[in-house]
C-alpha cells in the first residue's frame, strides 16, 4: 500500500511539473564583450511564445515591429509574427524543421541542468547546443532548433556567440499562448521584405519625368510644394519639398533610373539641392534668366554665371553626377549583341548621407540632363533613408555643417549658362571661412572632363590640383577604365572597325550609363578663419569648333562640437 502511495505521489508530481506554466529568460552575449540582450519564452503545455525580453525602446523609429514567434508542438507548427503600433499584423507559418542532422556528443551538466549536448555545422558556422529534460517540457528561444527534445539551456556559435538560459520560473499568469488572430499571411520572403520596407523612409521625388528641350515652356513665377516644374527650356526638373530632419544614424541614398525617350547620346546629368533659405540662388535664374546670377570673367573675356559661392549667392549642391548611356530602351531594337540583352533602363544608387545637413526642412531638389532633343529622357528619383539604430533621437554633442563652394556643372546649359572651360586660361578660385570648433572638415569633390574627340579632355587624363592659400595640397586625376562593363546599356553607341564601341573607351572620371563617385580631401588641419581655394586643371586647346571643359563641384563638410 505504501509503495502505491509513493508511486501515486510521483505521478502527481510529474503531471504537476508537466502542466505548469513557465517564463524562461535567456541572455545573449559575445565572450569578452559587454553587451547583453535578452529573449523571453512563455510556455504552457505544448505551446510556447518567443519575444524580446529587453525593455521597450523609448521613442522608437518609424516602422519598428514587435517580433513574436509561436511554436505549437502538438500541431508541428512555427509561426513568425510582426505586430505594428497601428495594429497591423502579418505572419508566416511553417512546420517545425526536422531536416537538420545533429551530432549527439554525450551528457553534461550546464547551469545546474542535466543536459544532452548536440553539434551541427550550418553555413560554415559550428553550433553547439545543450538541452535538458529536467523541466519536463519542450521549449527553445531559437525556432530553427524547435525539433530538439527538451528545453534549450545553452547555444554557442563558433565558440564566441552565446545564448543561455538565465532563469526558469513558474508563472500562473500565463493563460493563453496563441492569439485569436495572427494577421495577414505572407510567405517567408514576403514577411522579411515587408519588415525591411517599413523601416526604410522612402521619399519619391520624380516619377518618369520627361527631361527634354522645349523652348516654349513658360517660366514659373512661384514654386509650390510637391509640384514638378520644368525649367531651363525643359532640361531641368524641379520640386520643392519639406523634408523631416533625420537622426544622424540614418544612411541616406539617392536612387535614379533613366532611359532614352528619343535622345540617342550620352549626356551629363546632375541631381542637385537648392536650400530655400538662400537669398540668391539659381531659383532666381529659373524664374527670370541666367543674367540675374553673379558671374566672373576669365582672361579671355568669357563670363561664367552662378558657379562660385559669394556672400550673397550659393550654387546648387550636387547630390549625384551621372551620365546617360547611348539611347537605352529607345534604340534597343535597332542593334543586337551576341548572347547579350540590352538593358531596359539604367539604375544609379549612391550614398549621400554626408549631405543630410542640407536635406532637411524647406528645399528644392532638381535634376538636369543636357540635351536638345524634343523627346529627351525619362528620369525617376527616390530618396531612401535606412536606420542603423532603433531609437529616434538627435545627437546632443555634435552638429553637422555643409558649405557649398563651387559648381561648374552648367545645369542651365540650355538656357545660356556657360560650360566650365575657364581652366584653359584660368583657375577656379573661391574664398571660404573655417569656423571655430569645426572638426573632421573635408572637401566633397566631383570632377569630370569633357571634350569628345581623340585629344579632347574627355579621353585624356588630366591632373586636378587643389591649392589652399596658394600652396598645392592635393592632386587627383579623375579616370574610369571600366566603361566596357556597361556595354549592354548603350545600344546607340557607335561601333568601330576594330571591334570596340564608343561606350567602351575610358574617360575622365565617367562612363556612359554610370554615376561619378565623389572623392574626399581632408581639410581638418586648416586653422579657423578665411582661406582661398584654387582648382587648377591643364585643360586642352580647342580644335575647330570643338572645345574641352570641366564639370567640377565642391562642398565643405564638417561637424561642430557642441558645448565648447
CATH number, residue 301: 2.60.120.230
Query: pLDDT at position 449, please?
Result: 98
In a domain, 7, yes or no: no
In a domain, 5, yes or no: no
- Nearest-5° Cα angle at 481, 475 to 483: 130
Query: pLDDT at position 236, please?
Result: 98
In a domain, 253, yes or no: yes
- Whether the pLDDT of residue 423 is over 70: the answer is yes
In a domain, 173, yes or no: yes
Q: Note whether 214 and 184 are same-domain residues.
A: no
Reference 217, options 376, 381, 364, 324; nearest CA is: 376
Mean pLDDT of 89-104: 91
Reference 98, options 27, 148, 28; nearest CA is: 148
In a domain, 89, yes or no: yes
Q: How confident is the model at residue 81 (pLDDT cuts 50, 70, 90)?
A: very high
The H-assigned helical ranges of 266-410 are: 282-287
Q: Note whether 165 and 217 are same-domain residues.
A: no
Query: pLDDT at position 511, please?
Result: 98
- Whether the pLDDT of residue 149 is over 60: the answer is yes
Average pLDDT, the chain: 93
Q: Note whether 535 and 411 are same-domain residues.
A: yes
Poorest-pLDDT segment among 206-215, 391-400, 425-434, 517-526? 391-400
Residue of 162 and 57 predicted with greater confidence? 162
Q: Note whether 293 and 158 are same-domain residues.
A: no
Query: pLDDT at position 15, please?
Result: 41
Q: Tell me which DSSP letter residue 96 carries.
A: P
Q: Note whether 83 and 215 are same-domain residues.
A: no
Query: pLDDT at position 34, please?
Result: 79
Query: pLDDT at position 204, please?
Result: 98
Query: pLDDT at position 564, please?
Result: 62
Mean pLDDT of 444-450: 98
Query: pLDDT at position 469, please?
Result: 97
Mean pLDDT of 458-476: 97
3-class DSSP state of 132 = strand
Poorest-pLDDT segment among 4-8, 24-28, 387-391? 4-8
Query: pLDDT at position 12, please?
Result: 39
- Whether the pLDDT of residue 1 is over 90: the answer is no
Q: Note whether 227 and 287 are same-domain residues.
A: yes
In a domain, 13, yes or no: no
Q: Note whether 207 and 352 are same-domain residues.
A: yes
Query: pLDDT at position 360, please?
Result: 93
Q: How confident is the model at residue 99 (pLDDT cuts 50, 70, 90)?
A: confident
Poorest-pLDDT segment among 13-17, 114-118, 162-166, 560-564? 13-17
How many angstroms separate the CA atoms of 559 and 540, rounded?
A: 38
Query: pLDDT at position 9, please?
Result: 37
Query: pLDDT at position 19, please?
Result: 61
All three cell numbers of 28, joined, read 545573449
Residue 82 belongs to a domain with what CATH number?
Answer: 2.50.20
- Whether the pLDDT of residue 98 is over 80: the answer is no
How many angstroms separate the CA atoms of 499 and 501, rounded?
A: 7
Q: Using an 8 Å Cβ cutoff, are 242 and 362 in contact?
A: yes
- Whether the pLDDT of residue 3 is over 60: the answer is no
Helix H or strand E segment including 103: strand 103-110
Domain C-terminal end among 162, 193, 224: 193
Q: Note whether 177 and 232 are same-domain residues.
A: no
Task: Report residue 161: phi and psi, to 5°.
Answer: -85, 125
Domain C-terminal end among 193, 222, 243: 193
Mean pLDDT of 528-533: 96
pLDDT tens across 205-219, in order? 999 999 999 999 999
Q: How confident is the model at residue 561 (pLDDT cuts 50, 70, 90)?
A: confident
Residue 358 Cα distances to 243, 278, 319, angstroms: 10, 12, 10
Q: Using an 8 Å Cβ cutoff, are 489 and 341 in contact?
A: no
In a domain, 490, yes or no: yes
Please give the model's pTM, rounded to 2 decimal places: 0.90
Mean pLDDT of 375-382: 98
Please report the DSSP string for 508-554 in residue order: SS--TT-EEPPEEEE-TTPPSEEEEEEEE--PPPPBTTB--EEEEEE
How many angstroms separate the CA atoms of 495 and 482, rounded?
A: 17
pLDDT tens across 6-21, in order? 444 343 334 444 468 9
Q: Note whether 294 and 402 are same-domain residues.
A: yes
pLDDT tens across 60-79, in order? 999 999 999 999 999 999 99
Q: How many independent structural domains does the chain possess?
A: 2
Mean pLDDT of 309-336: 96
Mean pLDDT of 333-346: 94
Query: pLDDT at position 170, please?
Result: 96
Domain C-terminal end among 193, 215, 232: 193
Q: Note whether 185 and 220 are same-domain residues.
A: no
Q: Note whether 235 and 103 are same-domain residues.
A: no
In a domain, 132, yes or no: yes
Its domain, for residue 286, covers 200-561
Q: Note whether 392 and 527 are same-domain residues.
A: yes
Amino acid at each position: 500500500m505504501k509503495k502505491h502511495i509513493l508511486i501515486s505521489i510521483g505521478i502527481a508530481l510529474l503531471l504537476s511539473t508537466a502542466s505548469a506554466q513557465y517564463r524562461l529568460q535567456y541572455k545573449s552575449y559575445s565572450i569578452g564583450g559587454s553587451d547583453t540582450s535578452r529573449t523571453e519564452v512563455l510556455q504552457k503545455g505544448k505551446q510556447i511564445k518567443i519575444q524580446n525580453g529587453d525593455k521597450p525602446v523609448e521613442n522608437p523609429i518609424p516602422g519598428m515591429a514587435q517580433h513574436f514567434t509561436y511554436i505549437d508542438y502538438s500541431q508541428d507548427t512555427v509561426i513568425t509574427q510582426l505586430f505594428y503600433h497601428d495594429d497591423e499584423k502579418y505572419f508566416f507559418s511553417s512546420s517545425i524543421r526536422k531536416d537538420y542532422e545533429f551530432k549527439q556528443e554525450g551528457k553534461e551538466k550546464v547551469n545546474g541542468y542535466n543536459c544532452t549536448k548536440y553539434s551541427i555545422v550550418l553555413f560554415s558556422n559550428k553550433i553547439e547546443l545543450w538541452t535538458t529534460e529536467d523541466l519536463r517540457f519542450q521549449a527553445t528561444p531559437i525556432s530553427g532548433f524547435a525539433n530538439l527534445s527538451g528545453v534549450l539551456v545553452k547555444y554557442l556559435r563558433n565558440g564566441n556567440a552565446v545564448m543561455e538560459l538565465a532563469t526558469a520560473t513558474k508563472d500562473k499568469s500565463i493563460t493563453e499562448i496563441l492569439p485569436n488572430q495572427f494577421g495577414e499571411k505572407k510567405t517567408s520572403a514576403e514577411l522579411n521584405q515587408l519588415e525591411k520596407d517599413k523601416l526604410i523612409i522612402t521619399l519619391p521625388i520624380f516619377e518618369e519625368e520627361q527631361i527634354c528641350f522645349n523652348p516654349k515652356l513658360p517660366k514659373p513665377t512661384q514654386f509650390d510644394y510637391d509640384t514638378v516644374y520644368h525649367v531651363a527650356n525643359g532640361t531641368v526638373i524641379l520640386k520643392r519639398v519639406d523634408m523631416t530632419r533625420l537622426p544622424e544614424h540614418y544612411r541616406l541614398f539617392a536612387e535614379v533610373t533613366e532611359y532614352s525617350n528619343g535622345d540617342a547620346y550620352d549626356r551629363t546629368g546632375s541631381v542637385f539641392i537648392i536650400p530655400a533659405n538662400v537669398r540668391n540662388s539659381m531659383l532666381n535664374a529659373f524664374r527670370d534668366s541666367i543674367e540675374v546670377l553673379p558671374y566672373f570673367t576669365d582672361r579671355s573675356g568669357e563670363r561664367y554665371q552662378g558657379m562660385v559661392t559669394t556672400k550673397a549667392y550659393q550654387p546648387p549642391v550636387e547630390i549625384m553626377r551621372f551620365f546617360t548611356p547611348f539611347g537605352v530602351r529607345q534604340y534597343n531594337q535597332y542593334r543586337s549583341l551576341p548572347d547579350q540583352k540590352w538593358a531596359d533602363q539604367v539604375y544609379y544608387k549612391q550614398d549621400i548621407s554626408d549631405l543630410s545637413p542640407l536635406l532637411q526642412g524647406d528645399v528644392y531638389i532638381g535634376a538636369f540632363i543636357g540635351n536638345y532633343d524634343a523627346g529627351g529622357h525619362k528620369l525617376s528619383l527616390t530618396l531612401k533613408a535606412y536606420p542603423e539604430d532603433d531609437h529616434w533621437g538627435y545627437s546632443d554633442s555634435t552638429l553637422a555643417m555643409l558649405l557649398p563652394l563651387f559648381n561648374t556643372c552648367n545645369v542651365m546649359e540650355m538656357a545660356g549658362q556657360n560650360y566650365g572651360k575657364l581652366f584653359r586660361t584660368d583657375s577656379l578660385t573661391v574664398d571660404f571661412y573655417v569656423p571655430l570648433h569645426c572638426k573632421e572638415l573635408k572637401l566633397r569633390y566631383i570632377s569630370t572632363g569633357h571634350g569628345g574627340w581623340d585629344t579632347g579632355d574627355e579621353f585624356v587624363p588630366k591632373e586636378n590640383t587643389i591649392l589652399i592659400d596658394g600652396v598645392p595640397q592635393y592632386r587627383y586625376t579623375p579616370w574610369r577604365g571600366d566603361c566596357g562593363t556597361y556595354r549592354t546599356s548603350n545600344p546607340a553607341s557607335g561601333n568601330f572597325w576594330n571591334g570596340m564601341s564608343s561606350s567602351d573607351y575610358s574617360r575622365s572620371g565617367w562612363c556612359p550609363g554610370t554615376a561619378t563617385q565623389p572623392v574626399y580631401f581632408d581639410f581638418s588641419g586648416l586653422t579657423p578663419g578665411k582661406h582661398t581655394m584654387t582648382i587648377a586643371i591643364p585643360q586642352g586647346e580647342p580644335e575647330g569648333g570643338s572645345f574641352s571643359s570641366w564639370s567640377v563641384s565642391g562642398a565643405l563638410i564638417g561637424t561642430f562640437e557642441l558645448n565648447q
